[in-house]
Amino acid sequence: MNKTTLLVMAAGMGSRFGSLKQMTPLGPHQKALLHYTVYDAVHAGFDKIVFVIRESFAKEFKEFVGKYAESMVETVYCYQDMNRLPGGAAPIEGREKPWGTAHAIWSAKDAINEPFAALNADDFYGSDAFVKAHDFLANLDCNNEFALIGYRLASTLSENGTVSRGICQMDANGYLTDVNECTKIARQADGTIKDEEQGLLLNDEDLVSMNFWGFTPFIFDEIERQFAEFYPANKDNLKSEIFIPKVVDAAIKAGVAKVKVIKTNAVWFGVTYKEDTPTVNAQLEAFSNEGKYLDL
């Protein structure tokens, strides 16, 4: 059985939310959603957690979240540094925006030599998702087989407006073939779910990507290969980013990797705007009332 690591992408500053939302106290425990991530990962059996953060807020992050992780599991910190780029590419003078999620994952390459999961810092993913990701990775024996945790579309909708979701398209064996990006999804008055921009009817049971991946270290080489193509065409755009879904999609289409879609019944939620906070607090309160996370 393989050792397993969880990589948490926590370098984003949450500009739309207006604060460092990875450290916003929520729920009855007044903990960040990251505390719940750590709790679920450790209880699912992950052996190590790697946080990818910015050096500018490392002290604050380690104090609020890091100490909790360190008390439960091996914990490593890596920095997403805009001056350290795949393949030794030259930094761009005047650039302030990070290079995206693929770069964030690549930033942890020296700390990970085993199968690992990667996810966002500011989302709640649910214990079932961590168990299924861990079990897949612990038993993985193929270097170029990845995984994507697929959530029921109905479990990821918002009561406050439309959402953007990637609808997973799979072959007969459950491997990802494509992701249909829908940017304006909402439940309609008649109970149906529709992407209002495309006029496309969707189903409650459609599986969507919430950026919870399972990888092997092979992904680091693939990011470097694709960054070598991405960089010359995008280096003059100070806001360009290389995203991990695009890297995975290109790897699938090139035939160098395959991705198993693993369905979870967990409910996903996150804080995108401050107005989302009451709903998230209510959900976390409900977990406590059900006897979950009482020892968080």
pLDDT tens-digit map of 80-108: 998 899 999 999 998 888 899 999 999 99
pLDDT confidence of residue 48: 98
pLDDT score of 25 more than 90: no
Three-state secondary structure call for residue 2: coil
Three-state secondary structure call for residue 118: strand
CA–CA distance, 162 with 170 (Å, rounded to integer): 24
152: closest CA among 210, 200, 198, 191? 210
Structure tokens at 73: 């599991």
Structure tokens at 7: 């990589």
pLDDT score of 269 more than 60: yes
Structure tokens at 241: 């980013």
CA–CA distance, 256 with 262 (Å, rounded to integer): 20
Structure tokens at 78: 């890596």
pLDDT confidence of residue 20: 57
Residue of higher predicted confidence among 159 and 123: 123
Whole-number percent of the chain with pLDDT over 90: 82
pLDDT score of 24 more than 70: yes
pLDDT confidence of residue 17: 37
pLDDT tens-digit map of 162-198: 899 999 999 999 999 999 999 999 999 999 999 999 9
- Decide if 250 contacts 134 (C-beta within 8 A): no
pLDDT score of 288 more than 50: yes
pLDDT confidence of residue 15: 39
pLDDT confidence of residue 60: 85
User: Tokens 């380690």 identify what position?
Assistant: 62
Considering Cα of 270, then 97, then 231, then 115, what sign does the dihedral take?
negative
CA–CA distance, 74 with 30 (Å, rounded to integer): 24
Strand partners, 89: none
Q: Domains in the chain and their CATH numbers?
A: 5-150+209-256+265-289 (3.90.550.10)
| DSSP tag of 267 | P
